[in-house]
A and B are shown apart, each in its own frame.
Chain A
Amino acid sequence: MKRALWIALGLAFVSGVATSQELPWPLAAADDEPAPAEADGADAEGGEDAAGEDDEDDAPRWFALRGGSVYQAGAWLEGATVLGKDGRIVAVGTHVVVPADAEVLDVTGYRVYPGLVAFDSRGIVGQQPGDSTDVFGLELNLALATGITTVGAGSQLAKLTWGTLEGHDLGESGLVRIDISQASLRARLREDLARVEAYLRDSKIAAAAKARGEEAKEPDSKFLRGKFAAYRDLLVGTKRALVNADTAGDLRALTRLTLRFGFRAVVKGAVEGWTLPGELGRAGISVVATPRERREPDPDRMAENGWSIENAARLHEHGVEVAILPRSPGISMGGLAGGDLLTFPLEAAFAMRGGLSEDAALEAITIVPARLLGIADRVGTLEVGKDLDAVIVKGDLLHYQTLVEWTVVNGRVAYDKAKDTLLQHVRPRDGEGENLPVPLIWPRRGNAPDSPPRPR
């Protein structure tokens, strides 16, 4: 270990900018020792991960994205390399030594974003992802072509692995569905939560009494099943609530509930959230918003109501975590640039149109949904220890004309535009159209007077 440290120091000296994150791997190479032992320690805290990794072969699977501009929490790391081992990131930096047997994807001149996370989806993965996903499905293919690498699907979570089930199923999301759409339901919920709260209090008192050595009676825990068990998880803070609420009235009722019982909630919709952003922020409520969700205001109501394109921006300003999801969480072939997951980054661009910063808009389709789904330790950013999920594009991901070139999931190329039949002909990579300015080669309507002729 000491020797390794010396070499580490030497290496840091030579490379000048090597960060501590990069050390575990280059060390092993410099020492001419088998790399795995060192690197294993580096990402062992990953826990249960990588099913099937052990049974194949002992050689680690290295994968590197070399030379791209890597998005790192609001900044761009130019000419950087992202190195993954067995699907996990082990190094991000400009001086990363790539093992000789690594699969290298040269992305010089491209931007590398973390893989997108869709808070909810329909039809992309199976209802029981591990047992029914079509891993060569058209929807899956198109979701990958959009840059999505992780989805929530109902109560399930899944990585969009292409052609393999390894690392596909992420199990259940840590969300408890509650319904507050009617006064009677709210009253019922209040009662149930109060019951669980009383139980938690009594058991705490009993535990304290026992600690003092006194006789104490444990409260009856038989009822803690089904919804009550879920409510206990809510109240102790291990899970968040998932609520569908759009109107200011429902949102206000929810803030009262969360403040009274001290649990955290994720609101899907929150169309009128912009009218009470401060209240939502103080109540610690997170929002999954749809910037293009239109709801005309009711002129008979005195208070501000209806939709606003500024919804996401206002909420974000007031400290509300905002994730963005299109109106329809499926993949739809009908219509033009519709409100479905095919235009997922575009939805975030609409939030920018409403005043959200670009970084916040990117977070709203990557790390924020990951956090709300309880998988921020695995996906959402390009950090050491997380899964190597990346979207590689030329230009700005949130621009409506940008096409995804590669999508990487678990350190495997899951989508390559040049090899996929669907979009390979649009601005072909390394083809004649590649370096033309975008407006010249974007398909236009035939007889528009000032439109230049389309190549091919």
Chain B
Amino acid sequence: MRSSTSLSLALAALVCSASLADEPELVVIRAARVITVSGEEFAPGMIVAKDGKIQAVGQRIEVPEGAKEFDLGERVLMPGLVAPRTRFGLRGYTRRGNQVQQRAAIELVVRPDAWDGLLEAGVVAAAVYPEGSDLPGRAVVVHTHPGAPAERILLDPGYLRVGFDALPGNKRTLRGALKAAEQAIEKEEKAKAEWEKKTKPDAGKPGAAPERPSGKRPPRRGPRRGPPQPPRAPLMAGAAEGQSSTAPVDTTKFNPPPIPEAVAPFVDLLRKDKAAPRLFVELGRASDLVHFDEVCAEVEWPQRPVFFAPNRSTRSIQTDFFRVVERLGEEQELVLLHPAISVEESTFVRVNLAEELSRAGCKVAFVPVFDARAGYDALLDDVTLLVGEGLSRDAALKGLTLHAAEAAGVADLLGSLEVGKRADFVVLDGDPLQVGARVEQVWIGANKAWTREVSR
């Protein structure tokens, strides 16, 4: 604590000296307890934020005069919750096959207050996923704070959703996509070799080693962030094939054969490119993971996929994911779960999957059983029950915040109270892992975004 305090002191001093009239002002928030999630808890604690970002967190930080100060009294402050998988208030539709070029971002035509339900449950950011099975597209991570859609977006495109709960169709689609990517890479290498042969007749001689295509990716067809398109548009691989490039072809450079949009993310994945999307794999049952591993046996992940391991259905608490705990723990996977005690299929044997997984070394994050206001309202209480059944406090808090943010792909912005991250947090009337704890305020960018009208 001492080191962080001194660091924050230094920071505060720095800020103070550089303070000018047009500089954004410092905001100081004090609370009876500050839960940072990533580090220790401060009681009492305080946060110093500037320009919506955290400048310092600690027990006692000296603050220059003129800073805007808030005292939350006996309340508890913790990072805002993150919903790593939601379609809160959005319309449903069906989408099948390989549609990886689709983005959930184009669906954000919602009322400004559409996500108030999430906000009031303490959720400050949500990863909105594209609907559909197989490969329905990329998610988008948004703020729940009312505002124009464009201002809300934190990350676009987000994870690439992989439906893997309806075999064998899902398996076929994913296998097809990976195979197409392999073929595209092969094709490019072949074209490259041919081009080298043509342009450098002495390429065959020793010493004239062919250049590696260092990080250069072939041009994609179609705009990457194009104008919104209707979600049902039949965009398949090669649909954009008819477009002709207007740019003059430079014959002195190698022009790799175009890669279809539907294949591009998987080409990146196989090349371990930085631009490769993180896969968000939605499993239906434990067996699906075995099938997924079989399809992806050859893939070396630039980023391990995120797994969603829900109960059998929203009405059933049956699960069989305890059978793959060892496998998930071995790779320290990030696993999303319903925050509920499940039962082993056809028995009354209780399973605290979250506890088992976190003990095995997995990172666990929570998705409410119901993707609606009721589900998010009960989220804290549900997780509290898991803690009562043996889940560690640390895993529970991280599952609501840091790991959820990691699953959504915004762990660099949100999920914990650390210097440099966004000053988005919730204020509760007690410890978050105490039954009945209620979110009283939500702060986004160090601004109070919502306050419960009737406080207890």
A binds B: yes
Within 8 Å CB of A137, what residues of B?
287
Q: Which of A6-14, A125-133, A213-221, A261-269 participates in binding chain B? A: A125-133
> Closest A-chain residue to B344, C-beta based?
A421
Does B71 have its Cβ within 8 Å of any Cβ on chain A? no
How close is B16's CB to chain A, nearest CB, in angstroms? 60
User: Of A52, A127, A136, which contacts B287 at CB under 8 A?
Assistant: A136
Within 8 Å CB of A55, what residues of B?
297
Q: Given A163-B290, A164-B290, does the pair A138, B168 have CB atoms closer than 8 Å?
A: no
Does B313 have its Cβ within 8 Å of any Cβ on chain A? no
Is B286 a contact of A132 with CB atoms below 8 Å? no
Q: Which of B39-47, B78-86, B345-353 participates in binding chain A? A: B345-353
Is B172 a contact of A131 with CB atoms below 8 Å? yes
Does B323 have its Cβ within 8 Å of any Cβ on chain A? yes
User: Of B286, B290, B297, B347, which contacts A421 at CB under 8 A?
Assistant: B347
How close is A172's CB to chain B, nearest CB, in angstroms? 16
Is A134 a contact of B344 with CB atoms below 8 Å? no
Within 8 Å CB of A193, what residues of B?
none
A138 to B286 Cα, complex, angstroms: 12
Is A165 a contact of B290 with CB atoms below 8 Å? yes
Is B323 a contact of A165 with CB atoms below 8 Å? no
Is A136 a contact of B285 with CB atoms below 8 Å? yes
A407 to B418 Cα, complex, angstroms: 53
How close is B297's CB to chain A, nearest CB, in angstroms? 8
A158 to B170 Cα, complex, angstroms: 21
Is A132 a contact of B167 with CB atoms below 8 Å? yes
A76 to B349 Cα, complex, angstroms: 39
Within 8 Å CB of A163, what residues of B?
290, 323-324
> Closest B-chain residue to A51, C-beta based?
B294
Residues 139-151 of chain B, each 1 if its beta carbon lies under 8 Å from chain A, else 0: 0000000000000
Is A131 a contact of B167 with CB atoms below 8 Å? yes
Does A438 have its Cβ within 8 Å of any Cβ on chain B? no
Does A59 have its Cβ within 8 Å of any Cβ on chain B? no
User: Of A127, A132, A136, which contacts B320 at CB under 8 A?
Assistant: A136
Is A126 a contact of B167 with CB atoms below 8 Å? yes
A126 to B171 Cα, complex, angstroms: 13
Does A135 have its Cβ within 8 Å of any Cβ on chain B? yes
Within B150-194, the residues touching A (CB, 8 Å) are 167-168, 171-172
Does A422 have its Cβ within 8 Å of any Cβ on chain B? yes
> Closest B-chain residue to A142, C-beta based?
B346
Within 8 Å CB of A127, what residues of B?
168
Is B287 a contact of A128 with CB atoms below 8 Å? no
The dominant DSSP class at the A interface is loop
Within 8 Å CB of B294, what residues of A?
165
Is B290 a contact of A135 with CB atoms below 8 Å? yes
A421 to B172 Cα, complex, angstroms: 33
Within 8 Å CB of B324, what residues of A?
136, 163
Is B344 a contact of A131 with CB atoms below 8 Å? no
Residues 286-297 of chain B, each 1 if its beta carbon lies under 8 Å from chain A, else 0: 110011001001
A134 to B167 Cα, complex, angstroms: 9
Is A165 a contact of B291 with CB atoms below 8 Å? yes
- What is the total number of residues of chain B having a CB less than 8 Å from a CB of chain A? 19
> Closest A-chain residue to B168, C-beta based?
A131
How close is A208's CB to chain B, nearest CB, in angstroms? 46
Is A138 a contact of B291 with CB atoms below 8 Å? no
> Closest A-chain residue to B349, C-beta based?
A421
How close is A16's CB to chain B, nearest CB, in angstroms? 43
Within 8 Å CB of A133, what residues of B?
287
A90 to B33 Cα, complex, angstroms: 66
How close is B321's CB to chain A, nearest CB, in angstroms? 9
Is A138 a contact of B346 with CB atoms below 8 Å? yes
A227 to B320 Cα, complex, angstroms: 42
How close is B193's CB to chain A, nearest CB, in angstroms? 28
> Closest A-chain residue to B346, C-beta based?
A138
A181 to B426 Cα, complex, angstroms: 73
Residues 131-166 of chain A, each 1 if its beta carbon lies under 8 Å from chain B, else 0: 111111110000000000000000000000001110
Within A89-115, the residues touching B (CB, 8 Å) are none
Within 8 Å CB of B172, what residues of A?
131
A126 to B110 Cα, complex, angstroms: 42
How close is A254's CB to chain B, nearest CB, in angstroms? 35
A56 to B344 Cα, complex, angstroms: 31
Is B285 a contact of A126 with CB atoms below 8 Å? no
How close is A274's CB to chain B, nearest CB, in angstroms? 39
How close is B329's CB to chain A, nearest CB, in angstroms? 15
A67 to B287 Cα, complex, angstroms: 34
A126 to B170 Cα, complex, angstroms: 14
Q: Given A133-B287, A165-B290, A165-B294, does the pair A138, B345 have CB atoms closer than 8 Å?
A: yes
Within 8 Å CB of A164, what residues of B?
290
> Closest B-chain residue to A135, C-beta based?
B287
A421 to B344 Cα, complex, angstroms: 9
Is B291 a contact of A131 with CB atoms below 8 Å? yes
Is A132 a contact of B168 with CB atoms below 8 Å? yes
How close is B190's CB to chain A, nearest CB, in angstroms? 26
A171 to B347 Cα, complex, angstroms: 33
Residues 160-200 of chain A, each 1 if its beta carbon lies under 8 Å from chain B, else 0: 00011100000000000000000000000000000000000
User: Of A132, A136, A422, which contacts B347 at CB under 8 A?
Assistant: A422
Residues of B within 8 A of A (CB): 167-168, 171-172, 285-287, 290-291, 294, 297, 320, 323-324, 344-347, 349
3 smallest beta-carbon distances between A and B, as pairs = A131-B168, A132-B168, A134-B287
29 A-B contacts, Cβ less than 8 Å apart? Answer: A52-B297, A55-B297, A126-B167, A127-B168, A128-B168, A131-B167, A132-B167, A132-B168, A133-B287, A134-B285, A134-B287, A135-B287, A135-B291, A136-B285, A136-B286, A136-B287, A136-B290, A136-B320, A136-B324, A137-B287, A138-B345, A163-B290, A163-B324, A165-B291, A165-B294, A421-B344, A421-B347, A422-B346, A422-B347
Residues of A within 8 A of B (CB): 52, 55, 126-128, 131-138, 163-165, 421-422
Give 6 A-B pairs besides A135-B291, A136-B290 with Cβ atoms closer than 8 angstroms.
A128-B168, A131-B167, A131-B171, A132-B168, A134-B287, A422-B346
